[in-house]
Structure 1
């Protein structure tokens, strides 16, 4: 212990409470038992994250449920090993943090691996949602599991290596908050106190109860899905006419859980977008068939699908550009004022420069500087990895050339720094916006057959590297708060990367096995439609100038969408600047735009989840605050985990025994009655 750090008995000192607990070395943090638990939880959260992204397209922050389960499962394992006298090592918050980092990195690899966005967007299945006759040179089908694993390792390692040289700058020099990272670190600290452990135990029990309830409900639903459009997922809650426009409640525990996690403005913003598009605008466009467009094809961009794609893209890109400019400007202004102060490195200089540092801050800075990674090592590794990437990516995908990858490798550290800095200030990564820019730029740069695939690959690389980089810094902030060695944190990120690179493609294969032959992953009829995949591909098509003809008035509608987005975002910015409360009730235009292309069915479920949380808060606000995230996590995980047994049943040709289907009264009912009577069965109409 460094006696110059300060007084551990200072008031409200977190580290003072852990003063008697010796800091573990690297092998006391990076343990085999934590690695074993990370495999189990990594599989669970990859499965859940991918399923959400492939259905709704929006993946909420799952850090809190991951945090609770990491603490509980590792603590149970440690108790078991101690009872069997197989270990004597105590369970520390540093080991807890290492496990948490593994699991979160594994999840980030899964949701940025392109399984529901860029990579699946290369397939003919997604291409045919935009045009009836896609160019074969812009299609890559059946990406092998091995190739996908290599892609994930290449992008993930690039993200981690590009992040390490900025660790001290972000955490120590600029003292960025990284709100999620700070909260996670504080929770882990509290879990290792008696009071925090009691609350964690209560949350874990709640997760398991809602998990088993959700899993049981999923099993029950499966019995009624023997056929197309069968079961509770096709339940016309509001009548068959609204069902045709995709307005129905499908009894999905996943979406209800999402609604409990996502802010109310997101949930009701999604519903508002669904009502505007599928409830008002699209029915109006259907009356203009033959006047504004001739094609009856549901996929052609010269038909009604053209309005859906181009208006969605306009809303999302405009909102992304505005938020990008706002966040980047804020970050640069903040960076300018920070750099006006001369910043020294080393513990003694920090103490002299900031004499008001409390005991906790000094202790954490001392730990961080003592175990920091020399900058030369990650820089050299990044350069070597860039050379490997320049060889590997063109070898896997002939549409992209080595000089395209070289440009990406030069750009990634620069834009990665900007994105991570903005995340530290606002807790919001704009990696998807950078990805969309990359798709446009590379599609326009290449502008020849194969450009769409190359641009999607470039966008996927940018998305994965920037998101993993910014989230790795969030984890490092959590490690800083829990006094975990930066070297142990990087080890956790590398383990999570390897785990996610192996698990995610395997799970994606399992998802493919659960779909119907005529509704594969990525198709609009599939239970895994991957809504963002079509939008990402559409951006590549637009960037190449591949759309020569649009339906009538499509451009005018896009111009209106452009100015509406600017106006609404301007109101949000002004209200934030003036301190008006109205901005808290205005949803993001990206949220409103998603149902324009993805559909409206899941918005009902998410609003139900939000309404349940509001009712719970009104009845017992304390209980809702502590346990709502646990209930939501259980609901999401329960339905998500059923994907694996469902895939196995489908693999062995075990089909559900019944089909529950709803049809309008009239001739169709007479046909069904006749069929059932011929079988000697009394029909039961529903």
Structure 2
């Protein structure tokens, strides 16, 4: 109901192609492409093909559209520089069939949404400030995660955040965990097993997931604000308030569960936390090096 038909059809055909054709064919290579005695959830076998192929497709699609957007912005910049002396854009005085078909409601939404924009300098300064705070504080919490690891994450995160926001806008799915796996393998392999690579990879995954998931969440908030004629700044301030509340509430909730259930995260308990096992196995696989990947 939310996504375009082409997206739903694409996801549907992808499900048929992967689960109906690719995974059964790869499963027949058990003992040839990968050991036959692996557990079903091991990333050395069929599960590894599922995870890495999906991550590669998502990242490739997002980075391609990031390239298209960068070229579009560059073309727009040169067009603005070459406008005439009157200060009007070359197409400002022209009417086109496309613009004439835009309804009054859409024109009004766009007008209100663009009036109350967040300054670019504020966004850049805020990102730099948050990166500096994270670089200084997170290594004190996780000593294995060095400050230069976090700096590298914040340098590459904007491109991944755009990819996640773009994909979430198309499919209404935030795939932050897929980008978190990239941080697990990159930082885990960089740190190495002898320097706490498993814990460093998991902590780096948390940092990366927070960045890319916030980008998609904020984009969805802006989308809601656009549809409801709300101020983008009010949506942004609401996001800041919610994030600040989460910084206090989330640790309290975790500490409550941690104290109330002594076997929290243990397989077979009331709260087994299955994703914790999956991400831990990814971190272990990352520090073993690329030779162990499927």
Structure 1 residues 364 and 533: CA distance shift in structure 2, 3 A: same
Aligned residue number for residue 490 of structure 1: 236
CA contact (8 A) 1:324 1:430 kept: no
Corresponding residue for residue 673 of structure 1: none
Deviations 1:68-104 (A, max 9, x none): xxxxxxxxxxxxxxxxxxxxxxxxxxxxxxxxxxxxx
> Does the aligned pair in 2 maintain the 1:443–1:543 contact within 8 Å?
yes
| Kept in 2: contact 1:431–1:463 (CA 8 A) | yes
Determine whether 1:377 maps to 2:111. Answer: no
**Deviation for aligned residue 1:319:** 2.1
Displacement of 1:493: 0.1
Shift of 1:469: 1.0
TM-score, with normalisation over the residues of structure 2? Answer: 0.73
What's 2:202 paired with? 456
Aligned twin of 2:84: none
Shift of 1:337: 6.1
Aligned length, in residue pairs? 263
Tell me the CA shift for residue 510 of structure 1. 3.4
1:564-603 per-position Cα deviation (integer Å, ceiling 9, x unaligned) = xxxxxxxxxxxxxxxxxxxxxxxxxxxxxxxxxxxxxxxx
Distance of 2:269 and 2:164 partners within structure 1? 34
TM-aligned CA distance change 1:370 to 1:264, over 3 Å: closer
Aligned counterpart, 1:321: 56
- C-alpha separation between the residues in 2 aligned to 1:424 and 1:317? 22
Partner Cα separation in structure 2 for residue 508 and residue 495 of structure 1: 20
Question: Residue 134 of structure 2 is aligned with which of 389, 394, 397?
Answer: 389
1:543 to 273, 286, 291: 286
Which of 407, 430, 436 is matched with 2:152 structurally?
Answer: 407
Q: 1:394 deviation in Å? A: 0.9
Change (3 A) 1:363 1:513: same
CA 1:539–1:513 in 2, change beyond 3 Å: closer, same or farther?
same
Structure 1 residue corresponding to 2:108, chosen from 363, 368, 388: 363
By how many angstroms is 1:424 displaced?
3.1
Displacement of 1:439 in angstroms is 0.8
Cα drift, residue 464 of structure 1? 1.4
Report the counterpart of residue 478 of structure 1 in structure 2: 224
C-alpha change, 1:466 and 1:505, in structure 2 (3 Å) is same
1:478–1:547 CA distance, 2 compared to 1 (3 A): closer
Change (3 A) 1:401 1:416: same
Q: What is the CA distance between 1:306 and its match in structure 2?
A: 8.2
Q: 1-side partners of 2:136 and 2:62: how far apart?
A: 34
Counterpart of 2:8 in structure 1 is none
Match of 2:273 in 1: 530
Q: How does 1:63-78 map to 2 (within 5 A)?
A: none
1-structure distance, mates of 2:123, 2:177: 25
Structure ID, larger Rg: 1
Ranges in structure 1 where 5+ consecutive residues have no aligned partner: 1-63, 65-178, 183-262, 286-291, 294-302, 549-554, 560-686
Deviation at 1:486, TM superposition (A): 1.1
Higher relative contact order (CA 8 A, sep 6+): 1
Distance 1:377 1:329 in 2: 27
Secondary structure of the 1:360 match is helix
* In 2, Cα distance between equivalents of 1:264 and 1:508: 37
2:44 is matched with which residue? 310
Q: Shift in Å at residue 307 of structure 1?
A: 6.5
Whole-angstrom distance in 2 between the partners of 1:334 and 1:385: 25
The two structures, once aligned, show a CA RMSD in angstroms of 4.0
CA–CA distance in structure 1, aligned partners of residues 94 and 63 of structure 2: 28
Counterparts of 2:94 and 2:174, CA distance in 1: 31
For residue 334 of structure 1, report the CA deviation from its aligned partner. 6.7
Residue aligned with 2:276, SS: helix
Q: 1:539 offset after TM fit, Å?
A: 1.7
The question of whether the paired residues in 1 share the 8 Å contact of 2:62 and 2:162 is answered with no
Distance change in 2, residues 1:325/1:444 (3 Å) = same
**Aligned residues of 1:328 and 1:422 also touching (Cα < 8 A):** no
Residue 321 of structure 1 and its aligned partner are, at CA, apart by: 1.3
Q: CA separation in 1, counterparts of 2:228 and 2:40?
A: 51
Give 1:219-618 correspondences, 5 Å limit: 305=39, 308-311=42-45, 312-329=47-64, 332-333=67-68, 336=71, 340=75, 352=93, 355-356=99-100, 357-447=102-192, 448-513=194-259, 515=261, 517=262, 520-545=263-288
Q: How much does 1:374 deviate?
A: 1.5
- Structure 2 unaligned runs (5+)? 5-10, 81-87
Residues in 1 aligned to 2:12 and 2:108: alpha-carbon distance in whole angstroms: 39
Kept in 2: contact 1:479–1:485 (CA 8 A): yes
Q: Distance in 1 between matches of 2:160 and 2:41?
A: 32
For 1:386 and 1:547, the matched residues in 2 are separated by: 29
Aligned mates of 1:395, 1:330 — CA distance in 2: 37
Distance verdict in 2 for CA 1:362–1:383, change over 3 Å: same
CA gap of 1:380–1:308, structure 2 versus 1, over 3 A, is closer
Q: Return the alpha-carbon distance in structure 1 between the equivalents of residues 243 and 13 of structure 2.
A: 33
Deviation (angstroms), 1:309: 4.6
